[in-house]
Amino acid sequence: MKNSCRRFWLAGASAIAAGLWGQAALAATGTQAGVSVNNTASVSYSVGGVSQTPVSSNNATFVVDRKANVMVAEVGGTATTVNFGQTDRVTTFTVTNTTNAIQDFRLFATNIGLGGTTQLGHTDNFGVTNIRVFVDVNGNGTYDAGADTATYIDELAPDQTKTVFVVVDVPASGPASGISGVQLTAVVATGGTGSSLGADLVPTLLADDPSQVDIVFADGVGYADLLRDGRFSAGDEYAIAAATAEVTKYATLISDPLNGSLLPKAIPGAVVEYCIAVKNIGAQALTSVGITDNIPANTTYVASSTYVGGSFALGVCVADGAQATDGNVFNGTRIATSIASISAGATVTTRFRVTLN
């Protein structure tokens, strides 16, 4: 009997709801949960050819249930570039309330784990630390450490969106081509009480009760969650900035047999100094830098003329650095030197001299 009545109540629901809510019913989330949908039928009849007073039915009533749903999306579609040792590095997401009611949302973020595939299709090979989640309070789309301190979404209206930041620290070391995937999950929580996070919603497992707001999970499968589990997730990643070297070689006449060091010319017997300048134009230190240079044809290496780790200023190689032992750097045909590290933006040189045959 209850089922047949329920079918009768639903028959006129769409017309009544449209009259009550107008354009609100056209929103993506539909009619809001808790709205009472009412319907009364009228029966007219005649007895012995005489029209009788129409008879009205009882008022059949049910309330609209809560279709709990949420959407989380990564913003930008690219990795956040970082360097080892950095702090408070940010990835950005949006969280949209696609539930037909005002809701709170509990937020949490985690590493995806070594060997996992990021949402951007790369393999995770290191983990970020000190993972935190903050809501964009002022709505400017930029993480403001002093202002964006809320850790959950409070009283978000249907079809409204909030920007959410995942903020992490990067470890001091790791793989040169480091990728660290993170995932943000939003859990649908009870709304209705401002300035406090409501409890996670629990789906209604029993048959529908027309007198109360039942809860139905309607969320899809996200990056790291299941179908209709009351939550949704999306992923993003941090990528270690690639280190890049820019190499420039300079040749400078030092002296010749006739003019000495005063306006020397490139004649036989002239001394030429080669300077190899290595500049780090990346955002991460270059390490174990090896420099190899063959002694040019028609020249002879000048003994004990190699200097390593020199500086570069005002467009010229500075006459500094540490003198290298020939036995360590010269094999009779080429120079080979090494530099332990070149910091981001720095230039380090290797210098040696030859005599023009």
- pLDDT tens for each residue of 256-301: 999 999 999 999 999 999 999 999 987 678 889 999 999 999 999 9
Cα(285)–Cα(174) distance, rounded to whole angstroms?
13
* Structure tokens, 241: 């900035």
The mean-pLDDT minimum among 92-96, 181-185, 266-270, 279-283 falls in 279-283
Predicted local confidence at residue 28, as pLDDT:
56
The mean per-residue pLDDT over the stretch 68-93 comes to 95
Question: What global pTM score does this model have?
Answer: 0.66
With a CB cutoff of 8 Å and minimum separation 6, the contacts of 60 are 5, 8, 9, 38, 39, 40, 41
- Which amino acid, one-letter code, is at 316? V
Left (φ > 0), alpha (ψ -120 to 50) or beta: where does 96 sit? beta
Q: Which residue has the tokens 């094999």?
A: 331
Torsion of CA 254, 260, 264, 270, to 10 degrees: -60
Query: What is the DSSP code (8-state) at residue 162?
Result: E
Identify any residues that bridge with 237 across adjacent strands, giving them in sequence order.
181
Fold of 68-240: Immunoglobulin-like (2.60.40)
Confirm whether 68-240 and 245-356 share one CATH topology: yes
Residue 154 has pLDDT above 80, yes or no: yes
Give the three-class secondary structure for 174. coil
Q: Where are the domains of the chain?
A: 2-64, 68-240, 245-356
Which pair of structure tokens corresponds to residue 230? 């009351």
**What are the residues whose beta carbons fall under 8 Å from the beta carbon of 83, sequence distance 6 or more?**
170, 240, 241, 283, 284, 344
- Fold (CATH) for 245-356: Immunoglobulin-like (2.60.40)
